[in-house]
A and B are shown apart, each in its own frame.
Chain A
Amino acid sequence: MGREAGGKEGIGTGRKSCRVAIVGNPNCGKTTLFNELTGARQKVGNWPGVTIEKKTGFLAVNNRIKAEIIDLPGIYSLSAYSLDERIARDYLLKEKPDAIINIVDASNLERNLFLTTQLLELEIPMIISLNLVDAAEKKNLKIDVDILSSHLHIPVVPTVALKGQGIDKITEMIGNVLLGEWHKKMARVRFGADGEKHISEAEELLHEAAERMNLPLRWLAVKLFEGDKEYELLLENKELLDRINEYRGKAEKMVGEDTETIIADYRYGFVCGLVKEAVTVTADIRITLSEKIDAVIASRILGIPFFALVIFLMFKISIDFSQPGIEYIDSRFALLLNWINDQLFTIGAPGWISYIVVNGVIGGTGTVITFVVPIALVFLCLSFLEDIGYLSRGAFVMDRLMHWMGLPGKAFIPLILGFGCNVPGILATRVMENEKDRLITILINPFISCGARLPVYIMIAGAVFARNVGTVVFSLYAAGILMAITVGLIFRRTILKGPSTPFVMELPPYRLPTLKGILLHTWENVWSFVKRAGTLIVAIILLLVVLGYLPVGVTPNSKDSILGKVGLAVSPVFKPQGFANWKASVALFTGLFAKEAVVGTMGALYGVESINPDSSGGRGRIKSSTLRAKIARDFTPLSAYSFLLFILLYSPCVATMGAISKEAGLKWAVFSVLFNTAAAYIISMGVFQIGTLIKTLF
Chain B
Amino acid sequence: MDHLSPGERGKVVRINATGDLRQRLLAMGLLPGVEIELVRIAPLGDPLDFKLRNFHLSMRKNEARNIIVERFNHHGQRGRRKRRHWHW
Q: Known contacts being A192-B86, A254-B88, is A504 close to B42, with CB within 8 Å?
A: no
Q: Determine the residue in chain B with the shortest Cβ distance to A80.
A: B23
Q: Mark B34-46, 1 if CB is under 8 A from A, else 0.
A: 0000011111111
Q: Determine the residue in chain B with the shortest Cβ distance to A259.
A: B88
Q: Determine the residue in chain A with the shortest Cβ distance to B15.
A: A261
Chain B nearest CB from A132 CB (Å) reads 13
A36 at the interface (CB under 8 A from B): no
Label chain A's interface by main secondary structure: helix
Q: Determine the residue in chain B with the shortest Cβ distance to A250.
A: B88
Chain B nearest CB from A503 CB (Å) reads 5
Q: Which of A489-518 contact B (CB under 8 A)?
A: 499, 501-508
B17 contact set on A, CB distance < 8 A: 502
Chain A nearest CB from B29 CB (Å) reads 5
Docked pose: A198 CA to B15 CA in angstroms: 24
Contact sample, A vs B, 19 pairs, CB 8 Å cutoff:
A77-B23, A81-B23, A108-B54, A111-B55, A192-B88, A194-B87, A264-B26, A298-B40, A298-B42, A303-B42, A396-B58, A400-B42, A400-B44, A400-B45, A403-B46, A504-B24, A506-B28, A508-B55, A508-B56
Q: Determine the residue in chain A with the shortest Cβ distance to B14.
A: A257
A259 contact set on B, CB distance < 8 A: 88
| Contact for B24 among A76, A198, A252, A401, CB less than 8 A | A76
Docked pose: A401 CA to B21 CA in angstroms: 21
Q: Judge whether B28 and A111 touch: CB under 8 Å.
A: yes
Q: Judge whether B53 and A111 touch: CB under 8 Å.
A: yes
Q: Judge whether A400 and B47 touch: CB under 8 Å.
A: yes
Chain B count of residues within 8 A CB distance of the other chain: 41
Lowest 8 CB-CB distances: which A-B pairs, in order? A400-B44, A77-B27, A303-B43, A251-B88, A507-B56, A502-B21, A264-B26, A76-B27
B44 contact set on A, CB distance < 8 A: 304, 397-401
B29 contact set on A, CB distance < 8 A: 110-111, 114, 268
Q: Determine the residue in chain B with the shortest Cβ distance to A404.
A: B44
A82 at the interface (CB under 8 A from B): yes
B85 contact set on A, CB distance < 8 A: 192
Q: Mark A167-208, 1 if CB is under 8 A from B, else 0.
A: 000000000000000000000000010110010000000000
Q: Judge whether B31 and A264 touch: CB under 8 Å.
A: yes
**Residues in A lying within 8 Å of B, measured CB to CB:** 76-77, 79, 81-82, 108, 110-111, 114-115, 192, 194-195, 198, 250-252, 254-255, 257, 259-262, 264-266, 268-269, 291, 294-295, 298-301, 303-304, 392, 396-401, 403, 499, 501-508
Q: Known contacts being A396-B42, A403-B60, is A198 close to B88, with CB within 8 Å?
A: yes
A398 contact set on B, CB distance < 8 A: 44
Chain B nearest CB from A398 CB (Å) reads 8
Docked pose: A503 CA to B62 CA in angstroms: 9
Q: Known contacts being A76-B24, A261-B32, is A300 close to B60, with CB within 8 Å?
A: no
Docked pose: A250 CA to B44 CA in angstroms: 45
B43 contact set on A, CB distance < 8 A: 299-301, 303-304, 397
B70 at the interface (CB under 8 A from A): no
Identify 15 new A-B residue pairs, CB closer than 8 A, beyond the known A396-B47, A399-B60, A502-B20. Answer: A76-B27, A108-B54, A194-B87, A255-B88, A257-B86, A259-B88, A261-B15, A261-B31, A291-B56, A300-B41, A303-B43, A399-B46, A400-B47, A502-B21, A502-B59
B31 contact set on A, CB distance < 8 A: 261, 264-265, 268
B19 at the interface (CB under 8 A from A): yes
Chain B nearest CB from A529 CB (Å) reads 31
Q: Determine the residue in chain A with the shortest Cβ distance to B26.
A: A264
Q: Judge whether B15 and A399 touch: CB under 8 Å.
A: no
Docked pose: A287 CA to B40 CA in angstroms: 14
A110 contact set on B, CB distance < 8 A: 29, 53-54
Q: Which of B34-88 contact A (CB under 8 A)?
A: 39-47, 49, 53-60, 63, 83-88
Docked pose: A104 CA to B10 CA in angstroms: 28
B4 at the interface (CB under 8 A from A): no
Q: Judge whether B86 and A504 touch: CB under 8 Å.
A: no
B22 contact set on A, CB distance < 8 A: 260
**Residues in B lying within 8 Å of A, measured CB to CB:** 15, 17, 19-29, 31-33, 39-47, 49, 53-60, 63, 83-88
Q: Known contacts being A111-B53, A114-B29, A503-B60, is A399 close to B20, with CB within 8 Å?
A: no
Q: Determine the residue in chain B with the shortest Cβ distance to A399.
A: B47
Q: Determine the residue in chain B with the shortest Cβ distance to A263.
A: B26
Chain A nearest CB from B44 CB (Å) reads 4
| Contact for A195 among B40, B47, B86, CB less than 8 A | B86
Chain A nearest CB from B55 CB (Å) reads 5
Docked pose: A257 CA to B47 CA in angstroms: 28
Chain B nearest CB from A506 CB (Å) reads 6
Chain B nearest CB from A282 CB (Å) reads 15
Q: Judge whether B57 and A298 touch: CB under 8 Å.
A: no
Q: Judge whether B27 and A79 touch: CB under 8 Å.
A: yes
Q: Judge whether B47 and A261 touch: CB under 8 Å.
A: no
Docked pose: A299 CA to B40 CA in angstroms: 8
B83 contact set on A, CB distance < 8 A: 269
| Contact for A255 among B19, B40, B63, B86, CB less than 8 A | B86
Docked pose: A266 CA to B86 CA in angstroms: 9
Chain A nearest CB from B35 CB (Å) reads 12
Q: Judge whether B49 and A265 touch: CB under 8 Å.
A: no
Q: Judge whether B46 and A504 touch: CB under 8 Å.
A: no
Q: Judge whether A507 and B26 touch: CB under 8 Å.
A: no
Q: Judge whether A507 and B21 touch: CB under 8 Å.
A: no
Q: Known contacts being A261-B31, A265-B86, A298-B49, is A504 close to B63, with CB within 8 Å?
A: yes
Q: Judge whether A265 and B32 touch: CB under 8 Å.
A: yes
Q: Judge whether A76 and B28 touch: CB under 8 Å.
A: yes
Q: Determine the residue in chain A with the shortest Cβ distance to B81.
A: A272
A502 contact set on B, CB distance < 8 A: 17, 20-21, 24, 59-60, 63
B58 contact set on A, CB distance < 8 A: 392, 396, 503-507
Q: Determine the residue in chain B with the shortest Cβ distance to A192.
A: B86
B24, B41, B88: most-surrounded residue (chain A CB, <10 A): B88
